Amino acid sequence: MKTIRNFTNNLSSHFLLYLFLISVTFYSCKEEKLDVDILITNGIVYDGIDATSKQVSIGIKEDKIVFIGNELLITINATKTIDAKGLVISPGFIDPHTHADRDLIDPENSHNQPFLFQGVTTVVIGNDGSSYYPSSKYIELYKNQGIGTNAVLLLGHGTIRRQIIGSTDQKASNDAIKKMQDLVQKEMDAGAFGMSTGLFYAPGSYSNTDEVIALSKIVAQNNGIYDSHIRDESSYNIGLIYAIEEAIEIGRQAHLPIHISHIKCLGVDVWQQSTEIIKLIDNAREEGIDVTADQYPYDASSTTLKAATVPRWAESGGQDSLFIRFMNSKLKKQILEETKSNIVRRGGPEKLLIVGAEDSLLIGKTLLDISNELKITPEETVFKLIISNHIKVASFNMNSEDICNFMKQDWVVTGSDGNSGHPRKYGSFPRKYNTYVKQEKVIDLATFINNSSSKTAEILRIPNRGILNVGYYADIIIFNPNTFKDVADYNDAFQYSEGLEYSIINGQLVIEQGKFTGNLNGKVLTK
């Protein structure tokens, strides 16, 4: 009996001690105080890493995340509280392929709202081998003028080549390569995150693989990446498969990560090659070559009419040289024949939609429409148009099977390749969510968010962004999962997406309750 009494007394003592410790712990937690500028509560939080959501609050002080957890356990004094009940909270999206530099240099468009309303907080500029040069000049411009989103710079291989060789179709000498390497180093020193190539476009198309490897080695020495619009996405020259293999070989020999821009199978000649491409890239990754890609969620590509249809050899030396060759009857015949073949690769004249032109009456017409109006062949129409107009086209030449195959790969992230005239500039990220997450269920919500934020930051080697984590920069978006969608289409490509309720960039609200605040809080991110 005494033994039982002692045991009971001991148990009571331990229980009282336990209650005391709990009360002390709770009291101490309640006594912890934190001052924040913005507190976000009650939302569905995806941190950019995990496959599931969390129910936590997020505190922001100045430009950083300082708290993630249960705000009831501590005393938080918030200047502003956002009740995100029923809304999704995620890292701001990072767009790895844009042409937003054309807007960022313009004071009237530097707000970058077409991307902001998609949930994009960071854009990459200098893609497709074309960048503003020298970058140091433009970095200063962006800082002084103010920009709406963060900007990551790539140096353009075509831009560098043009500085040394010009726009002519010629092989780079050893001396020219050395001079280009020096310029690459200067651009990396200025803060570029890597080098982009546009091997499909002049003058990048005039380079050989050895030249690109030589320049890429300088990028590798500076811990940069190689981003490529590959030499052929269709059957224009070496073919899609060989173009992928060339990109992989550049990574293998230069020892740097390879990122393939807007991966696609463009044109009926290469439809259903996605399976083989995926296998090629998976094998390269198993070998230890870091190969990734981005993708926009549309079945229509977009470029200039000239780039889509005119053979590259005919472009050597620029526009004037092109038309000098065109006036030569023998060369004209060859140019027209190859242009006709390229039109077929793009799906035919009925599939080439004019989406940008100085003459606004051309917009919305197909190449076939204009050809019929002029009563000349589509290939002749091309040259009639480009002699006096800078024409942009959308060409409907991809199939859904390839799009979905690529989208399912964990090394493929979301991108827009956003340029004026194509709805992707205004709608890529919400379209991917609305079409491929909600409607077709190709991927789930967490995968979409992760592949639009943290994985992109990892690919580009952007530190302390793309993840909701204490100590990281406060680039955060809040969207309504029921209304987040693209609105822009091919009839009106200039419509802002809907459903983004809040966007915070570097700790400041740039979109609040679905409205642009006017804040230009983006930063130029340098390596």
pLDDT value at residue 73: 85
pLDDT at residue 18 is higher than 60:
no
The mean pLDDT value for 65-75 works out to: 92
The mean pLDDT value for 116-139 works out to: 97
pLDDT at residue 498 is higher than 80:
yes
CB atoms within 10 A of CB 115: 26
Provide the mean pLDDT of the chain. Answer: 93
Of the candidates 380, 385, 379, 387, the one whose C-alpha atom is nearest the C-alpha of residue 319 is 387
pLDDT value at residue 23: 40
Query: In sequence order, what are the beta bridge partners of 98?
Result: 418
Of the candidates 254, 265, 256, 230, the one whose C-alpha atom is nearest the C-alpha of residue 244 is 230
The token duo for 370 is 């204009």
Residue 373 CB contacts under 8 Å (≥ 6 apart), including other chains: none
The mean pLDDT value for 18-36 works out to: 54
Of the candidates 300, 274, 293, 377, the one whose C-alpha atom is nearest the C-alpha of residue 333 is 377
pLDDT value at residue 429: 98
Query: In sequence order, what are the beta bridge partners of 515?
Result: 512
Rounded-to-integer distance, Cα 94 and Cα 380, Å: 41
The mean pLDDT value for 218-222 works out to: 98
**Which strands sit side by side in the sheet containing 150-153, from one edge to the other?**
93-95, 120-125, 150-153, 524-525
pLDDT at residue 516 is higher than 90:
yes
pLDDT at residue 28 is higher than 90:
no
Contact 261, 415 (CB under 8 A): yes
pLDDT value at residue 255: 98
The token duo for 515 is 């409205």
What percent of the chain shows pLDDT beyond 90? 91
pLDDT value at residue 189: 98
Q: Render pLDDT for 307-334 as a digit per residue (tens, 0 to 9).
A: 999 999 999 999 999 999 999 999 999 9
pLDDT at residue 6 is higher than 50:
no
Q: Render pLDDT for 250-279 as a digit per residue (tens, 0 to 9).
A: 999 999 999 999 999 999 999 999 999 999
The mean pLDDT value for 410-418 works out to: 97
The mean pLDDT value for 29-55 works out to: 91
Q: Which conformational region is residue 262 in: left (phi greater than 0), alpha (psi within -120 to 50 degrees), or beta?
A: left
pLDDT at residue 474 is higher than 60:
yes
User: Alpha carbon 227 to chain centroid distance?
Assistant: 11
pLDDT value at residue 389: 79
pLDDT at residue 459 is higher than 50:
yes
pLDDT at residue 12 is higher than 50:
no
Contact 481, 445 (CB under 8 A): yes
The token duo for 64 is 């950083």
The mean pLDDT value for 413-434 works out to: 96
Residue 138 CB contacts under 8 Å (≥ 6 apart), including other chains: 101, 105, 132, 153
The mean pLDDT value for 430-457 works out to: 98
Residue of higher predicted confidence among 394 and 388? 394
CATH 3.40.50.720 fits 91-299+398-461+474-522, yes or no: no
pLDDT at residue 43 is higher than 90:
yes
pTM (whole model) above 0.75? yes
pLDDT value at residue 1: 41
pLDDT value at residue 291: 98
Domain ranges of the chain: 91-299+398-461+474-522, 303-396
Rounded-to-integer distance, Cα 378 and Cα 192, Å: 41
The mean pLDDT value for 185-190 works out to: 98
Rounded-to-integer distance, Cα 122 and Cα 525, Å: 9
The mean pLDDT value for 113-124 works out to: 98
pLDDT value at residue 414: 98
pLDDT band at 31 (very low <50, low <70, confident <90, very high): low
The mean pLDDT value for 469-498 works out to: 97
pLDDT at residue 16 is higher than 50:
no
pLDDT value at residue 56: 97
What percent of the chain shows pLDDT beyond 70? 94
Query: In sequence order, what are the beta bridge partners of 294?
Result: 413
pLDDT value at residue 32: 81
